[in-house]
Amino acid sequence: MAHRSLDNLDKKILRLIAEDARIPFLEVARICNVSGAAIHQRIQKLVNLGIIKGSQFVIDPEKIGYETCAFIGLNLRNPEKFDEVVEALKRIPEIVEAHYTTGQYDLFVKLYAFNNHHLLNIIHDKLQPLGLSRSDSTISYNAVIDRPLPIIDRPFEK
């Protein structure tokens, strides 16, 4: 995947909005010493290039009842059904990430459950019927680092 060239203004804008997605564009313009229209144009360019994929509110899962975070490595009985399994995983609302990875698993997912009993139900009732040969679960006690990637001052490769 090709990296896009970002100038210093792009990087500064990305740093500001990564730190606070709700920062008003006019505040970004003031900090960057450019017009509000310039910020709007730059943000639109970054969206069009796929560098900015959107913005969202981050909800603390535990505050809404999801007390268990788990990572599960999945091995498919029939790996040729990978695309079908991915589509089925998309329909399981507790799954928040799914990755096609190297190593011992065909897929690696992150999910949230209300508690360990709910996690067991998800594994037994929603994941096993997808045709797994096995799964390996790891429960996270707490995320000790959870941050966006830094916007670094180095030339991006083309």
What pLDDT does 6 receive? 86
73 and 114 part of one domain: yes
Q: Which CATH number belongs to the domain containing residue 43 in this structure?
A: 1.10.10.10
- pLDDT tens for the chain, 158 residues: list them: 445 678 999 999 999 999 898 999 999 999 999 999 999 999 999 999 999 998 888 899 999 999 999 999 999 999 999 999 999 999 999 999 999 999 999 999 999 999 999 999 999 999 999 999 999 999 999 999 988 888 877 655 55
The domain in which residue 33 lies consists of: 8-48
Looking at residue 95, what DSSP letter applies?
E
What are residue 157's DSSP bridge partners? none
Q: Distance between CA atoms of 56 and 53, rounded to whole angstroms? A: 10
Q: Coil, helix or strand for 37?
A: helix
Return the residue matching tokens 């009732």. Answer: 125
What pLDDT does 154 receive? 65
Looking at residue 127, what DSSP letter applies?
I
* Total domains in the fold of the chain: 2
Q: Distance between CA atoms of 58 and 75, rounded to whole angstroms? A: 30
| CB-based contacts of 18, cutoff 8 Å, min separation 6 | 148, 149, 151
Return the residue matching tokens 């959870």. Answer: 146
Q: Which CATH number belongs to the domain containing residue 67 in this structure?
A: 3.30.70.920
- Residue 56, in any domain of the structure: no
Q: Coil, helix or strand for 113?
A: strand
- Residue 69, in any domain of the structure: yes
66 and 127 part of one domain: yes
65 and 43 part of one domain: no
34 and 97 part of one domain: no
